[in-house]
Chain A
Amino acid sequence: MNTIQHLSTEAPSVLGGHRLLKSSSCSYFVTTAHGFLLARRMLSGISQPEKYRRILVNSYNRKQSNSSNTTVKTSTKLPSVDHLTPSDAPSVSNAEGREDAASSSQWKERKDDGVDVRAGFSSGKDKKPALLTDSFEYFAFLRRLKRTAEKLLSSFPLAIAELAIIGALCAVGTLIEQGQSREFYLQKYSEDWAFGLFNGEWVLNLCLDHVYTAPYFLGLLALLAASLIACTSSRQIPLVKIARRWRFVNSGASISKLDFHETLPHARLADLAVLLAGDKYQVFMRGPSLYAFKGLAGRFAPIGVHAALLLIMGGATYSAIGGYHGTIMVPQGLNFMVGEAMYPAGFLSQPPDSFDTEVHINKFTIETYPNGEVSQFRTDLSLFNLRGQEVSRKVISVNDPLRYGGFTMYQTDWGISTIQIHVDGEGPFNLVAAPLQTGDNKLFGTFLPIGDNGLAGAKGISMLARDLQSVVIYDSNGAFAGVRRSGSEKPITVDGVTIIIDDIIGSTGLEMKLDPGVPIVYAGFAALMLTTVLSYLCHLQVWALQVDDSLVVGAKSNRNRAEFAEDLGKLLNFVPEIVRDRSMENIAPIISSTNEELSMQGTSAKMDNESSRS
């Protein structure tokens, strides 16, 4: 039972790694976090790593000497603990180092008292059951491995370097055109840049033509993710535990070690409590000590930022290895099967049942503004299932895709598939159009052969179209013959042949995507937006202790220290100072002293009767 007692009273200190002050810590292990950790300790009760055992022994020692300077000693570590910030590189190793220093100092102290703890310690070690030695060693090794990995990965210069190198590689990717053919790079970088050190060969060998999917880039991203995880688990979460746990303080000396501290003579705790509560702090008082905090979200939000980034990276990875993607150019009036146009992106891709849908293009139109510029591309789509029933129908446009069965269909491109004409009253004939120019200014052309010269010497009428509205017609010699709008029914006679342009039939360029990682990425986006804004809240903590007649106040903020100091100073100015002047019955409050006004102490004061009688 004794050991369990130890566990319960020492659980907070063991897990936080730093000693709390010896106030009545009974209240601590009722919190759920502690309950969980306690349970964990109990379950693995037998296989305790050596370090924990040593700490147990040390705290046992400290229990022996309650009123000694050990409290002050432990308290000296506390301010520095609070100076720990998420990215402070030396601090984690220092914390462990300090622990060792503390334990060694404990050793030195204990020698005098004659309690031979070392004997107890070693005997405790011998009592370890032989059966579980291997598993104990194994766990200890794993734990050590995890700790070393965390220490390495969460180092601050490493994180900065990672971010900087990823940024530089991204920049390189924009300077060198990505995804072109091999000859493109050999040709473009053929003149010896940088005195022959850099040319097309280098570009290809270093994977600079596809930087964003190059192995070293992906490896860097993975390293960044690992650093984020390590930083969150080894620095931020313990800090949160400490921030929530270190509440009441029983020694004025430790308060004086804080960033900002004041001593207010002749002041009362209750007044300060009221003022803090009025300034939106959450105030807790117990006996002579007080703890108040504000803006707890500012403590958790940086963790949230890292978690959101990890979510985004995880979702993007899942998309990259588990999705489907396909593009297709379909002439108006034709069909295609969704599954045939889709290609898997990676090894985790699973085709859903909705891939058995047939898509039919009812109509494709281009809308224009009055000045002729394109305003919108619209495609009227119908989706049919295997039984031929229409399951979906929608007119999609550029910013308005069709979503069905997990995949999404976007309008991304367009073309001209055929030009429908009547020739000499006969027809309609569909002439297939070929793309002559792609990109933003498209040009399509088709050819109506005249005469019977065979394939080699075919001569005929050329028709060119830039959009779905009009066709430019050239005769057999290449001379310009005329322009006709589609559907105008106006004939044109070229080289003895009468042509009526009936219609220009377009084809729609559709892009289909199945992206399983999108919900995860969206969740990450939302979390990132929220937590980035929240992490600018300051987490402010105020401790106060009533020492005889005066009040020792200390405060700490995790950001923006200067302004916080000013604000708190102004607030403290309002704490009334109680001066009992026996000659006067009515006394009124005066502004309490700040540092410069120490000399104004003892001047006659007036104060409200009610507040002075306590």
Chain B
Amino acid sequence: MKFAFLCTTGFLTTRFFQTQHLPLGNLYESLMFLSWGFSFLYLISNVKNKKRLSAPVLATSALLVHAFAVLSLPHKMRESMSLVPALQSQWLMMHVSTTLISYATLLFGSLLAIVLLSIFHGEIKRYCVGNLTNNFEFRNKNYPLISKNFPKQIITESFSYSLFLNSRKCQLIHLLDKWTYQAISLGFSFLTIGIISGAVWANEAWGSYWSWDPKETWALITWLIYAIYLHIRINKKWMGKGSAMAASMGFFLVWICFLGVNLLGVGLHNYGWLI
């Protein structure tokens, strides 16, 4: 996987030198950048020692995106080409790269949420995701079994409570939820910066910072769903399952935003069209 990262980086840099602009001009280049993003995330998770959980998700995504870019796009798109006038701007680098990196991170986080939902569908509430507290009543509500067997004063610092907390399933759920949150929060910041830089670029170039272009609108919808995710995560009643569902829906919305809109064939973002 590290080798794949090196290769993809090499590919992107050679294209950069060849065409004198960042390789982000059409759909093919964007997809390659996305797959590079996935392999970069893999490197980061490697460094942070959470490789075991995220590697299957990231490596598969990188592979699939790469394969789609290379195998399913028309051959003409793969040639490096010069930029149309509208794209000749410094903003290109910032807007497109941050948006694509945000897609990669958000997709990663949403995939983890989908994993969480699909594996632990019925049990998230029981293990009280995201709420590793010693709060007495909350625990009592959720672990009636334990409170029956142990006298109350031991529960707050109970040895076996820690054991229970440390069970594999509970740990896995907590980890998945924690990393979903971290990935999505990082991706959310990037997405905000990406949308805003796109708006500022549009204002500088065409005088209107928001023109309800389909791609812009779908980026906004993606932003909204992840804002919903972050807010649901705070609410004690809905956290856990609700947030995982919001993040899972975000997965599909990101793909619609990135690829689905290009199928419509209208709007300013015509560089991504499949034609």
Chain A contacts to B: CB under 8 angstroms: 85-89, 156, 159-160, 163-164, 166-167, 170-171, 173-174, 177-178, 212, 259-261, 316, 369, 371, 373-377, 397-399, 401, 408, 410, 412, 511-513, 515, 518, 521-522, 525, 528-529, 532-533, 536, 560-563, 565, 595-596, 598
Contacts and interface: CB of A to CB of B under 8 A. Distances in A.
A85 B82 contact: no
A242 B76 CA distance: 62
B199 A89 contact: no
A529 B193 contact: yes
Given A88-B234, A376-B85, A565-B132, A596 B209 contact: no
B46 interface: no
Interface stretch (B58-66, B112-120, B224-232): B224-232
Nearest to A522: B200
A390 B224 CA distance: 48
Nearest to A566: B132
B210 A316 contact: yes
B220 A259 contact: no
Contacts of A595: 157, 159, 162
Given A511-B206, A532-B188, A170 B221 contact: yes
B134 A260 contact: yes
B217 A86 contact: no
B221 A401 contact: no
Interface string B125-149: 0000011111100000000000000
Nearest to A378: B85
Given A163-B227, A167-B221, A401 B207 contact: yes
Given A85-B235, A259-B135, A528-B192, 9 more contacts: A87-B231, A170-B220, A174-B264, A374-B85, A399-B204, A410-B207, A511-B207, A565-B132, A595-B159
Interface string B249-272: 000000000000100101000000
Contacts of A369: 82
Contact of A521 (B85, B193, B209, B228): B209
Chain B interface category by residue count: 35 or more
Given A260-B134, A374-B85, A532-B192, A401 B204 contact: yes
A375 B85 contact: yes
B189 interface: yes
Contact of B228 (A163, A171, A377, A412): A163
A164 to B, nearest CB: 6
Given A377-B85, A562-B174, A398 B205 contact: yes
B185 A259 contact: no
Nearest to B175: A562
B199 A160 contact: no
Given A173-B212, A513-B207, A563 B178 contact: yes
Contacts of A316: 210
29 contacts: A85-B234, A156-B231, A160-B228, A160-B231, A160-B232, A163-B224, A163-B227, A164-B228, A170-B221, A170-B224, A174-B261, A177-B266, A178-B212, A212-B212, A374-B85, A397-B85, A398-B88, A399-B89, A399-B205, A408-B207, A511-B207, A512-B207, A529-B196, A532-B188, A532-B189, A560-B178, A561-B132, A563-B178, A596-B162
